[in-house]
Amino acid sequence: MRKSIFLAVALSVLANPAMAEEVNNWDRFKLWNECNPLNLVVSELHENVENMGLTEEKIQITVADRLRGAGIYDFRKDHEKTGENRLSPGILLVDVIVIKYAFSINLSLMLPMARVSDVDQFRSEIDGFFYKYPYIGFATLWSTRTTGTHVGDAGYIMQNVENDTNKFVSEYLRVNAEACG
């Protein structure tokens, strides 16, 4: 009887990965953001990828769609249209580098390290920068990198961008599960 109860509990934990993977303090330090939406920044591609069909726009759309599907995307232009002068307190930076037949993809979550509490105090020193973004600095707290080779196939590189984005979204939602509710 005891063995069957133990087996049932073990199988239920294994069947539910969220229970099996506990969120520790290090995970929370790297990824906790109170489930706030993120800004997306895609680094500029080098000119040598134009004839491959790989574009910043394709990368932007692919990653933004995945973040939007998870409910963690904050598109700057939407705020500009509504007149809000606020950006969310996190940035997902996507950097894709292609040199000949090699590529590198780096996704980095950058979170603010300090928030300015009294904007007027900093107005003269920083020339109003904090009105748009009231943070002193950012740090990369989580990142993943994929490197590989390709044969001029932009689709293969995009597949790797999607895989890295899925890895980020899974980790982000796992750590922010309480807040994302």
Domain ranges of the chain: 37-180
Per mean pLDDT, which of 41-45, 85-89, 113-117, 164-168 is the most reliable?
A: 164-168
Q: 65-100 as b/e, with b when 16 or more CB fall inside 10 Å? A: ebbeebebbbbeeeeeeeeeeebbbbbbbbbbebee
Which position has the token pair 């996704």? 107
For residues 124-142, give the mean pLDDT: 60
- When computed from its CA atoms, the radius of gyration of the chain, rounded to whole angstroms, is 20
**pLDDT value of residue 113:** 73
Residue with tokens 């790797």, as numbered in its chain: 160
pTM: 0.74
pLDDT, tens digit, for every residue of 104-128?
999 999 987 765 554 444 444 444 4
CA dist 169 → 64, 65, 134, 158 (Å): 11, 11, 26, 16
